[in-house]
Structure 1
Amino acid sequence: MNIAIDVKQMGHQDHVLVGGEIDAYTAPKLREILFPLSEKKGVHIVVDLGNVSYMDSTGLGVFVGVYKNVRSNDGTLLLVGLSDRLKRLFTITGLADIMNIESRAEGGTL
């Protein structure tokens, strides 16, 4: 199981490019990178999931935690580049109704 994570500061936003699989083995690495970003006051995080081939409930848990942190710190979280499969995962769980998500067709990858 592999994951690649690249963080770039672009203006007042943190852009996080994620590739590979997000599962029980790789989610801790993603959490280790996203949680410190999400704890900054007024943070704006854009996570590009365009190169993510698979995500399980462990990955969803990471994004729920990041979303809560960002909200409590008056920030924003935007997920972009979701494949149809990932978009469906967020929709089925109801997370698409509360999180700001753009699919590939809407937002494309960064």
Structure 2
Amino acid sequence: MSFFISPAYAAGGSPTGSGFELIIMMAVFAIIFYFMIFRPQSKRAKEQRNLLTSLSKGDEVLTSGGIVGRITKISDDNDYLQLSLDETTTIVIKKDFVSAVLPKGTLKSL
């Protein structure tokens, strides 16, 4: 039977890779992790911080819940905003829930 199939022998000894290759592979994974996950997330967080600091009275904003309103009052000491949805309805929300500042006149076009 061994005429057609050569017998398999187990490879003995140490593996051919070294510890240096493992370090290089881990460094490559760390670089990929940084550029694919960490860096874009930190950019988005920086943009959100800049958006929240640039809010002013009279800005028309969109909240993360989908509410569109005009800022009527900003409370700096506790990070809350008062939004006017129309002439009679006002709500109070936390600044963190503002997702975008809309162009002037957006409320009138809705």
Per the normalisation by structure 1, the TM-score is 0.22
Q: Which has the higher contact order (CA 8 A, sep 6+)?
A: 1
**Larger C-alpha radius of gyration, 1 or 2?**
2
Per the normalisation by structure 2, the TM-score is 0.22
